[in-house]
Structure 1
């Protein structure tokens, strides 16, 4: 047989670097489609709010969770559960001080929990995330 034993690597433009954690959008869409409908709708809404609040974060899948990378390092983790979806600051010493009443705090101060039975207000969530993420994503002087 004249078939290659190993597939060819994708060629990238000069100077571009690919990270194995970074996945294309169709794979993220497939990940959402594998979830139950209620779970997927909550997770998609939180994902859209994170991307609106911090567009420089790069979404990727690892350990069955949606991770958001900041400069190649895990920064946020979006984890779907049976009754809720949790958004956690991965490497932050302290989380949000106060969350709105409709956004429940999780088991850890760095975690926000979103129940699938509750409606998510996208504008409110984007504003909360901008306030929470501002100290961590702002350029250091």
Structure 2
């Protein structure tokens, strides 16, 4: 079975691979996300730093050459009145953060708070993960 053995070490390694120009902006984004939603889980997936609640991935930090995108996967479902995000249709939305400008922590925290709340509701309405072949204690290897 494959699993992330030490997600904190992988997250730290992800920051180590960033260029000196990318790192401060990505660290500021991570700090703002942690401040807005302290219960989120962090992991490195798809080469990006992703954030989830109740196994629902809702945001990611995606570094590029001159900017980092804060990608909001449930961005099309966010309520009105939040800072404007790039994107159209039912897909994700992004907040572009240029490496030459400071991160707008207030905007990031507003968007992340709303997005994490949506992810929490979705995660609580899902049936519990697991099941499969050994879903009951009668058939588990430990009970044999």
Alignment TM-score, normalising by the size of structure 1: 0.66
Question: SS in structure 2 opposite 1:38?
Answer: coil
* Residue 80 (structure 1) aligned with residue 63 (structure 2): yes
1:105 corresponds to = 85
Secondary structure of 1:51's match? helix
1:23–1:59 CA contact under 8 A, matched in 2: no
- Relative contact order, CA 8 A, sep 6+: which one is greater? 2
- Which structure dedicates a bigger proportion of its chain to helix? 2
Tell me the residue number matched to 1:20.
Answer: 3
Aligned length: 121
- Structure 2 unaligned spans of 5+: 126-144
Task: Tell me whether 91-100 or 59-68 shows the greater mean CA deviation.
Answer: 91-100
List structure 1 runs of 4+ shifted beyond 3 angstroms.
95-100, 121-125, 131-141
**Separation in 2 of the partners of 1:26 and 1:83?**
26
Q: What is the TM-score normalised by the length of structure 2?
A: 0.65
CA contact (8 A) 2:58 2:119 kept: no
RMSD: 3.0
